[in-house]
Amino acid sequence: MIAQISFSQCGILIDSSGKKISLDPHKETHSDIIFVSHAHTDHLYKKCGAKNKALESKTLASRETSIIAEARGYTLSDSQEEYDGFKLIDSGHILGSKGLLVNRDEIYYTGDISIKERAFMRPALIPQAQTLIIESTFGRPEYVFPDLQEVIHNANKIISEMYDKGIPVLLMGYPLGKAQLLTEFFGHWDPLYLYDAVYNMNSIYSKLGIRLKHTVKHSTAEDQNLLSKNKPWIMISPLFHGRNGFVRRMKERYGAVTIGFSGWAINTNYKFMMGLDYTLPMSDHCDYKDLVQVVRQCNPKKVYTFHGFTIDFARRLRKLGFDADPLLDKDESRQGRVKNAPVISSLDNYMKNE
């Protein structure tokens, strides 16, 4: 029996060997198996009210994903890492992120994926499969990231210049995943403070075996008057817009300079759109070349693209000789557009995709 793959209001659905498998659903769904690839909130869902037997499913997720999700207010009840015919495979995106291999080599779903080694994050493992379902967040050729060491060097150069002038610096990235890497990359600067939400995530990472520099959180630093306008310091915070109240306060009170880290910083106008002083391209996703490499390494007979530049990436894969189609809902297919595709005027899309 050939598996059926579709895109519904709940997300991607696989019907294989009599089992319905829901991949990173947005809400509760009638499925035999629910797979949660990682603990970013756009891949989690909250249960609606009392337990509904009609909606009971086996949940597949890594131990790390379950623990981080719990800390973020999401409960993956009775989640397990193993189930007959299914294999969770490291996807290299954030701590605990996994792809899903269905029925030995029938289908491989990447979830969000990165094949770049980044400090404690190891590259994704890519299995061979007959059908590949691959994210396409950066599925256009213009999204090719510079070498990570070059980005770190450029950031250290900015920080050093600010330190010489006695100017504090905010290093800004997604609070789960990116912020922990920023802590690792720039932990040699002192003093280093953490926005409270970042501090909380760092603490969970440490409990899960990723030892990060122990430092003071923002609220404590404020209470103890540790922050100064004329003495340099570093703070790692979420990637806020420059108009955000926290950012304005840090600038007005301490004269802080902002550096935002995002794959979207490849766009020269991203800095101005975000209202930041500096932006540097760093991502926990594959860039375009890496996405193509994943497809070639997987060597599938069929490819489905999802999330981001879904239509564009499928079209380019077809030009490379692959049988590729975008996974679209009915409205997207009819209108010829992709839900959540990155648009330079949309701040929400930039934040959700990174």
pLDDT number for residue 54: 42
Percent of the chain with pLDDT over 70: 89
Provide the CATH number for the domain around residue 161. 3.40.50.10890
If asked whether residues 153 and 255 sit together in one domain, one would say yes
| C-alpha atoms less than 13 angstroms from C-alpha of 43 in its C-beta half-sphere | 28
If asked whether residues 319 and 304 sit together in one domain, one would say yes
If asked whether residues 252 and 299 sit together in one domain, one would say no
If asked whether residues 47 and 115 sit together in one domain, one would say yes
If asked whether residues 306 and 229 sit together in one domain, one would say no
Q: What is the pLDDT of residues 17-73, one digit of tens each?
A: 888 999 999 887 788 999 999 999 888 876 644 455 445 678 999 999 999 999 999
> How far apart are alpha carbons 172 and 176 in whole angstroms?
12
> How far apart are alpha carbons 213 and 98 in whole angstroms?
26
Question: Which range, of 57-66, 119-128, 177-186, averages the lowest pLDDT?
Answer: 57-66
Q: What is the mean pLDDT of residues 299-310?
A: 96
Cα distances (Å, whole numbers) of residue 199 to 117, 151, 204, 238, 302: 23, 23, 9, 11, 42
- Look up residue 351 and give its amino acid: M
Provide the CATH number for the domain around residue 51. 3.60.15.10
- Structure tokens, 55: 């909606």
> How far apart are alpha carbons 234 and 159 in whole angstroms?
8
Question: Which range, of 65-79, 147-161, 201-215, averages the lowest pLDDT?
Answer: 65-79
If asked whether residues 138 and 154 sit together in one domain, one would say no
If asked whether residues 26 and 85 sit together in one domain, one would say yes
If asked whether residues 70 and 139 sit together in one domain, one would say yes
If asked whether residues 160 and 115 sit together in one domain, one would say no
Range(s) of the domain holding residue 154: 148-280
- Structural contact between residues 156 and 299, judged by C-beta atoms closer than 8 angstroms: no
- Structural contact between residues 120 and 150, judged by C-beta atoms closer than 8 angstroms: no
Among 280, 313, 334, give the residue marking a domain's end.
Answer: 280
- Look up residue 39 and give its amino acid: A
- Structure tokens, 188: 């040699």
> How far apart are alpha carbons 207 and 211 in whole angstroms?
8
Please report which confidence band the pLDDT of residue 151 belongs to, taking 50, 70 and 90 as the band edges.
Answer: very high
pLDDT number for residue 341: 40
Share of the chain residues as helix, strand and coil, in percent rounded to the nearest 5 = 30, 20, 45
Q: Describe the strand order of the beta sheet including 131-136 as a list of residue ranges.
A: 86-90, 98-102, 107-109, 131-136, 302-308, 324-326
Please report which confidence band the pLDDT of residue 83 belongs to, taking 50, 70 and 90 as the band edges.
Answer: confident
Among 280, 297, 317, give the residue marking a domain's end.
Answer: 280
- Structure tokens, 35: 């797979």
Among 280, 312, 327, give the residue marking a domain's end.
Answer: 280
If asked whether residues 304 and 276 sit together in one domain, one would say no
Count of positions (residues) in the chain: 354
The residue assigned the tokens 């993956």 is 76
Number of domains forming the structure of the chain: 2
pLDDT number for residue 343: 39
If asked whether residues 173 and 253 sit together in one domain, one would say yes
If asked whether residues 168 and 273 sit together in one domain, one would say yes
Percent of the chain with pLDDT over 90: 76
